[in-house]
Amino acid sequence: MAISSLLQLRYRFRSKSSVTNFEPRIETWTSELHHTASTSLFLGCALLTSSTLLFGEPILCIVNDVNEKLFNTYCWSQVVFIRGDEAKKRHSYYQWVGIVFALQAIAFYLPHWLWKNSAESRRVKALSRSIANREQICDYLAGRRHANAQFAIKLCAKEVANLANVLLQGFLLDVLLEGRFVDYGLEAAQDFSATSERVFPNLGRCALNSVGPSGSIRNHDGLCVLAINVLNEKAFLVVWFWLVLLAAITAINVFWGFSLFASKALRRFRLSDGRNCLRESLIRIENAIEFGDFVLLDRLKSCLDAATFEQLVFQLEEKLSSSSCDQSLVTRRRHQV
């Protein structure tokens, strides 16, 4: 008896606290992939590829008759001549990899930061504080009908901006790697060793001229190992597969958003999750609201469990029906006068 009482008390406490302290997820889960997962990934890659600069030697050279540290510093600041088939090919991208990754992390977080500080986001967060009061939410939704277009436009624009940002970051990495990033993942899947050696060579040579005791020019030619490229080849491979996956998911999400805008049937299916008990109510609600109102209702749906949202739909249907009846009654009286 005591155990069952404790379980009931625990259930009531969890149910009440989950509603009262619930913070709604206004943005879609694909947006969270951009500003959370992608930002963390690119920051991690930036720290990883910069670790050799802070705690080790990014380049190691073997040379005679010259200070080794001076020679390493010079060859790092200058381009490295790659041996083999590309003996005259110069690469300097490795100097900028950590900085580029850090800037890309900022680029993935920027749309979320702009949205978080927008007036629409703050307004919906204020509404979330009363998520436990369904009556107040219904009054808000019914009273602000046809006034949520800006909310929907900015939220949809953010999704499109996420897709454009993914494509832009892939293009910038391709420019950084001199046109070798687009096919890097596919080629690496077939032959990783050969692809990484071609795209991220870790062996090269560097030449330094100095003045001898008699004033003659002395040429110092050394063999260098780019240790940082051992990390770059793995980091860029992970980034390639992530960007491809993220671009595909975001494109599907944008297409789904445009489909919801064009089809009321898809909107009802989205809100009802296939439950027939909500279909008739959602048909009446859809006839009374616009797309911006639907987007707000859909975002609120992600904050609630199925049973609570079902009660909210029925209550909102009654509210909209009563308000439409009152409006029609006022119109009739005006015509009679």
- At 317 the pLDDT is 80
Report whether pLDDT(107) > 90: yes
Distances (CA, A) of 134 to 268, 304, 332: 20, 11, 31
Model confidence at 292, in pLDDT bands (50, 70, 90)? Answer: confident
* Residue 183 main-chain phi, psi, to 5 deg: -100, 10
Show the tokens assigned to 325.
Answer: 């009846």
228's CB contacts (< 8 A; 6+ apart) are: 49, 52, 53, 58, 59, 94, 97
- At 11 the pLDDT is 36
Tens-digit pLDDT profile for residues 248-283: 999 999 999 899 888 888 888 888 876 777 777 788
- At 330 the pLDDT is 31
The model carries a pTM of 0.77
Cα–Cα distance, 83 to 202 (Å, whole number): 10
Cα–Cα distance, 157 to 38 (Å, whole number): 19
Q: Can you tell me the mean pLDDT for 57-78? A: 77
Distances (CA, A) of 251 to 164, 193, 257, 296: 10, 32, 10, 22
Tens-digit pLDDT profile for residues 206-218: 777 776 666 666 6
Helix boundaries (H) for the chain: 2-20, 29-32, 39-55, 68-77, 97-116, 119-128, 134-143, 149-176, 184-190, 192-199, 228-262, 264-272, 279-288, 291-301, 306-336
pLDDT more than 90, % of the chain: 21
User: 75 vs 83, which has greater pLDDT?
Assistant: 75
- At 91 the pLDDT is 65
- DSSP, res 83: P
Cα–Cα distance, 295 to 258 (Å, whole number): 12
